[in-house]
Structure 1
């Protein structure tokens, strides 16, 4: 008998977009350095050597923070981020107080989602769906509740087909110029027991023997103890591309209603059963995230088929205090991390399994993966530009760095070929939020979270000075950090 080798599907080859300039520096630094050299030469010819020396010292002081980057941010980016943070502290804008007896009179969502509004409509398949409107950015977000099938006892060919279907969904969505992002959120939280109790009540007959009914009730009360469950949802953020859709949400709702059944059908091909969330479900989702103590009551009401009678202005917290490295809100503390680098090398489809799986050490853990697909026209320009920049880097770098440059050339060349065959180009990132009771051991939580991320081959960094923004973005309810960033791109390393 001859042993047959089975080819495994692997994934990778992703690169961080970066325009290469002189000596491996970013494009912005290269342009600024070239301008500085020209200015210094002009000063030498017009004024003299001493004045030119002073100009060179000033130019070096100006360019050094832009040329030196740490954690993906230049010195100017870190300085602006720190300045904005201190301004926030001085104005006490990091503290949010809401409720009936506050000046707001409600519990509106804070921070990036303070101006958001909620609308509800019906899609072409007859499902009611919630649509979150961000007026300042002309963005509309819809949420879909998802029930992934899972890969247990499933053939590898079927798993590969699901992955290919998900890739096809990203390509199809990228062909539409009005799709800003798709955000996949996997949330783990403690089981309250309300769902099991409702199921037991439905299964238990009134004329059943007394011992049987008592045993079923006891099991329903005891089984959920220390049990962690998983929930997942997908959000699609649309950009209003016409003046009518920017002014009238009903116009955008009509377009979203037409396309939602197509998205749910594409998700079904990827092994995910999904349906749009209603307005009540969207409100309960955000309220539970900001106020975990309300989870049991909201779930009990939902299981009984009743309305929680909360409005969009009641979806936020009563209190939150944003610290340098954490966020305090409604009796709990949340810490958020963002992806610094994607998995290195090639990976398989189960690379994120341990990070997404429920953990007894991190009961409330939310992982959001944000996909921002490019249109077909932009994708062709991007892959061509990345390939040219990689060639420049290969020609300018020497030593150990040259090996990395060679690998980048190969990756960008493969991306060009795949894009020419019809594949899409998508930017992606990840956010992780862990919520624990106030007074939790934060160093231990960080160690556990980084250990899980390292098992997923992700390099993450803590969201210092923007914990509230990262918390909102990790909900996948319309807050997109790249589109809402306050730092100018001119000071970045790109």
Structure 2
């Protein structure tokens, strides 16, 4: 039989995602569930033996409530697991940590980024050799750099070209795994208001400027039509783990300069892998480019102006928001409301590349899709897979002794673990990936409508999304900023 690759009848290979592990400490119960269940059992048994069965109704609020919060669920999560979230949220509100206002009378220290929350600790380093701005996180010991990616629309390519590009992207991820010094690799695909710069530049170079009525009206139409559209921008951010690369940093001179030298090596490697995959990286972000991205994320209304007037808004010292107010399920910044969704479940069945098209191509919505890859060292991945396999087998044996029926979900998770172990032995890398979708709108009503539309688009993509409550500020920084942050 002739190969479909050579006969012109090319078919894409479907892919399948590993399931999110739902295992707990014991018998699929988390530590909090075991704690609440243990308190309930201790209260029941203690009452029964110390006072007698007649006192059980009096202590029923303790043992009954413990059992209820252990197994009852709200929005797919056990009630007991909501307790830490609520307590943390209340404490944050009491401490004023959900409101940020820029102190314009007290400028930020030189070299810092004017961002709210835990991103306030970030520092900038302008690399003299590459011209890129590198963002240093002293707490997590990372050094991050980013750039835009130029590529044709994936959904418009023929199957053979799609398959070739998929294999090329796989080699990019494999390069990140083999490095051993990369903390995270973040890919963002976002829609931004089109400032009409391309139209204006074309008219300026090719238009007939003779002062006629036709030329004047045509120029006015271009000025008005540009900002009414939107365009898609893809970017990638690379974070160096300074702890893993400590030895190489010392060999390169130590300190932030040595870390920058090591990061430049990773930048060249990733850039070569991207070009081999027919992804054309732009020059790495300098301070001005990064400032425009940060400002546009928190203040979307100013984005067209910053694009059309490229000499303003290019200072990182003023790129942050003027004010931020975080609520339970949303975030309000300078000119927009935002909500961040977490991709809690990727497609369970085999899907073809491009399955996220309903989300990516959702029109009329300002949104950012962020996928963060965290490479796992081979030795550590092997230990974790062995541990998970032993836990699955032990839990299966425990359920068999208790007479419980084997759950199909547990069996599927075990098969995923075995497949990952086989892939690791075959030379493939292991990555942890997190998907976030940030949705923005000018008003709260428009935001709710946009979030509902994105959730429906995710359902069409065979994905499950959940609103990240009580942590929208941190989630927004991870989902919308090209800084390879994590929640």
Normalised by the shorter chain, which TM-score bucket? 0.7 to 0.9
Answer yes or no: is 1:160 the counterpart of 2:163: yes
SS of alignment partner, residue 343 of structure 1: coil
Question: Which stretch has the larger CA shift, 262-271 or 14-23?
Answer: 14-23
With CA pairs under 8 Å and 6+ residues apart, which has the higher RCO, 1 or 2?
Answer: 1
Q: Deviations over 1:358-398 (max 9, x none)?
A: 512x1x11111111121111222233333333434555388
What value does the CA root-mean-square deviation take over the aligned residues? Answer: 3.8
Whole-angstrom distance in 1 between the partners of 2:78 and 2:146: 35
Q: Is the 8 A contact 2:336 2:443 kept in 1?
A: yes
- Alignment CA distance shift 1:452-1:19 (3 Å): closer
SS of alignment partner, residue 179 of structure 2: coil
TM-score computed with the length of structure 1 as normaliser = 0.82
Cα deviation for residue 399 of structure 1 reads 8.0
Residue 116 (structure 1) aligns with: 122
Q: Is the 8 A contact 1:284 1:315 kept in 2?
A: yes
Given candidates 313, 330, 336, the residue that maps to 1:326 is 330
Residue 183 (structure 2) aligns with: 180
Residue 382 (structure 1) aligns with: 384
Q: Deviations over 1:281-329 (max 9, x none)?
A: 0111001111123213321232xxxx43643221111111111221111
Q: Is the 8 A contact 1:473 1:479 kept in 2?
A: yes
Given candidates 268, 275, 298, the residue that maps to 1:261 is 268
Q: Is the 8 A contact 1:98 1:319 kept in 2?
A: yes
Structure 1 segment 320-469 matched on structure 2, within 5 A = 320-360=324-364, 362=365, 364-395=366-397, 396=399, 402-469=407-474
Question: Which stretch has the larger CA shift, 381-390 or 69-78?
Answer: 69-78
Question: Which stretch has the larger CA shift, 22-31 or 258-267?
Answer: 22-31
- Alignment CA distance shift 1:30-1:178 (3 Å): farther
Unaligned runs of 5+ in 2: none
Answer yes or no: is 1:131 the counterpart of 2:131: no
Structure 1 segment 10-21 matched on structure 2, within 5 A = 10-17=14-21, 19=23
- Alignment CA distance shift 1:420-1:100 (3 Å): same
Residue 307 (structure 2) aligns with: 299
SS of alignment partner, residue 460 of structure 1: strand
- Alignment CA distance shift 1:256-1:205 (3 Å): farther
Residue 50 (structure 1) aligns with: 50
Answer yes or no: is 1:144 the counterpart of 2:150: no
Whole-angstrom distance in 1 between the partners of 2:76 and 2:124: 35
Q: Is the 8 A contact 1:132 1:477 kept in 2?
A: no
Q: Is the 8 A contact 1:370 1:430 kept in 2?
A: yes
Residue 272 (structure 1) aligns with: 279
- Alignment CA distance shift 1:367-1:49 (3 Å): same
SS of alignment partner, residue 239 of structure 2: strand
Whole-angstrom distance in 2 between the partners of 1:252 and 1:103: 28
Given candidates 90, 95, 104, the residue that maps to 2:94 is 90
Cα deviation for residue 114 of structure 1 reads 0.8
Whole-angstrom distance in 1 between the partners of 2:156 and 2:384: 39
Whole-angstrom distance in 1 between the partners of 2:194 and 2:406: 49
Residue 291 (structure 2) aligns with: 283
Q: Deviations over 1:56-97 (max 9, x none)?
A: 997997787567666675555422221121122222221211
Whole-angstrom distance in 2 between the partners of 1:430 and 1:62: 33
Cα deviation for residue 216 of structure 1 reads 4.5
Whole-angstrom distance in 1 between the partners of 2:75 and 2:369: 21
SS of alignment partner, residue 407 of structure 2: helix
Unaligned runs of 5+ in 1: 483-494
Q: Deviations over 1:333-377 (max 9, x none)?
A: 1111112211221111111112112512x1x11111111121111
Q: How many residues are paired up? A: 468
Q: Is the 8 A contact 1:229 1:358 kept in 2?
A: no
Cα deviation for residue 472 of structure 1 reads 0.8
SS of alignment partner, residue 136 of structure 1: coil
Given candidates 8, 13, 33, the residue that maps to 1:9 is 13
Cα deviation for residue 205 of structure 1 reads 5.5
